[in-house]
Structure 1
Amino acid sequence: MRHLARTRPRLTLAALVGLTAGIAWAWLIPHATLTQSLLTGWDTGVWLYLILIFVRTLHSNADDVRRVALMEDENAGVILVTVCVAALASLAAIIFEVAGSKGLSSDAKMLHHAFTGLTVIGSWLMIGVIFSLHYARMFYTWNGKEPALAFVGGEKHSDYWDFLYFSFTLSVAVQTSDVGVATREMRKVVLGQSLICFVFNTAILGFSINIAASLFN
């Protein structure tokens, strides 16, 4: 835990705040379900982490990205998988919440829909961000002659914006656009993100149709 806090202080802080929020929700809200408490903790942690990463992105250059990438260890892959599994689990939890909203009043339904949107959008953004950080690590720890990611113009000193661009292009279009993927290990990660984002994009479409239909009932 101490090692994680040292190498990933923002993720550690967000996880602790999210855990506290989930416990507080279960303690303070009468009749709160386990699913609602878990999702409250997840949403709080995710949105806090996204804000912290956005602030870091604004104040980081390529040298900062390289320094952070070299500081992280092999557990980066484990954290990537853990976050992705948790994000997919949040989708499953939301399905139960949507199913339980039938028969509620209009105001209660709108609250459920807002909760759904907050969770799905937050999880989708979290996937894109966590993959972008992993791409940065792989890019700067690669020892080959050519960069693991070939950006247009031959950029070899990429910052977080470059990796966010690559990651969210995959998230939105499920394709690599104008960035070349030069290594097998990188292609494996790209494939994993593409499959996960396909699931998320399909879920977002389904939730949107469900919410739109409920508004006219």
Structure 2
Amino acid sequence: MRSRLILSILVALIVLVLLPSWFSLSTKILCVWDAGMISFLAATWALMVQAKPKTMRRNAQSQDEGRLVILSIVTTASCASIFAIAFILKETKGKDISILIPHLILAVVTIIGSWLLVHTIFAMHYAHEYYQDHQTQSECKAGGLAFPEDIEPDYWDFLYFSFVIGMTSQVSDVQITSRSLRRLSLLHSVLSFFFNTAIVAMSINIIAGLTQ
């Protein structure tokens, strides 16, 4: 986890140095955030694609982001998304289409990327909670979530579980069987509801502003 964070910070700093001086402060903030966010997502998803259940069980503790980091990233991502929408409303008001489109693309990338980041982080933490008590017992069945057909879940299964909560604020065919994961999924559901509601509400303001 630490290596991915360091990588994303380095990428963000490089982008900050390379940005033109005539960019506004708000544009620079979004560009730097997007660069770090995309690099973190790319590194995390690369890990997820390659990881197998046995590897996940062994490395769950080291790959977990931790509750404090989760809260920090979720808060930052939420603020970045709201800032992106406010940025669009401010920077594009009365501007030509040639200026509007690049700003709109930047804001959309920020919002979608931040949304993906939040639920990817939660997926990593669900995997940690599932496997944390079985890191040295590969033959042992881990607990906390009951997957259909009694499969041994990989990161794709945890991504599925996380993004279903992120989109619907409820679980689907995966049953929660532990108190700690019920509490975590409750927090995830509530945060997702307010996050999605804020984005939809402010996006409507953008559309209304662009049509005036």
TM-score normalised by L of structure 1: 0.84
Q: Please give the alpha-carbon distance, in whole angstroms, between the structure 2 residues aligned to 1:12 and 1:67.
A: 23
Counterparts of residues 149-168 of structure 1 (less than 5 Å): 149-155=145-151, 157-168=152-163
SS at match of 1:29: coil
Aligned 8 A contact 1:150 1:179 in 2: yes
Aligned residue for 1:14? 8
Partner of 2:178: 183
**Could you tell me how far apart the structure 1 residues matched to 2:58 and 2:99 are?**
48
Match of 1:29 in 2: 21
Cα deviation, 1:114-162, whole Å, max 9, x if unaligned, reads 111100000000011000001111111146987111111223x321011
Local SS of the residue matching 1:11? helix
Asked if 1 retains the 8 angstrom alpha-carbon contact of 2:60 and 2:127, the reply is: yes
Letter in 1 for 2:169: V
Match of 1:63 in 2: 54
Tell me the equivalent position of 1:169: 164
Question: What's the CA shift for 1:200?
Answer: 2.6
1:42, distance to aligned residue in structure 2 (A): 1.0
* 1:83 counterpart residue number: 73
Unaligned runs of 5+ in 1: 1-6
8 Å contact kept, 2:148–2:174: yes
Gaps of 5+ in 2: 135-139
Matched to 2:150, the amino acid is G
Check the 8 A contact 1:23/1:41 in 2, yes or no. Answer: no
CA contact (8 A) 1:138 1:186 kept: yes
Structure 2 residue corresponding to 1:148, chosen from 140, 144, 147:
144
| Structure 1 residue aligned with 2:97 | 106
Taking every aligned residue pair, what percent have the same amino acid on both sides?
33
Q: Distance in 2 between matches of 1:52 and 1:91?
A: 21
What CA distance in whole angstroms lies between the structure 1 residues aligned with 2:189 and 2:159?
15
Distance 1:167 1:176 in 2: 9
Structure 1 distance, partners of 2:61, 2:23, is 47
1:54/1:46 CA distance change after superposition, 3 Å: same
Name the structure 1 match of 2:137: none
How many matched pairs?
Answer: 206
Q: What's 2:195 paired with?
A: 200
2:125 alignment partner, one of 109, 131, 134: 134
- Say what the alpha-carbon RMSD is for the aligned residues: 2.3
- CA displacement 1:155-185 (0-9 Å, x = unmatched): 3x32101100100011111111111112222
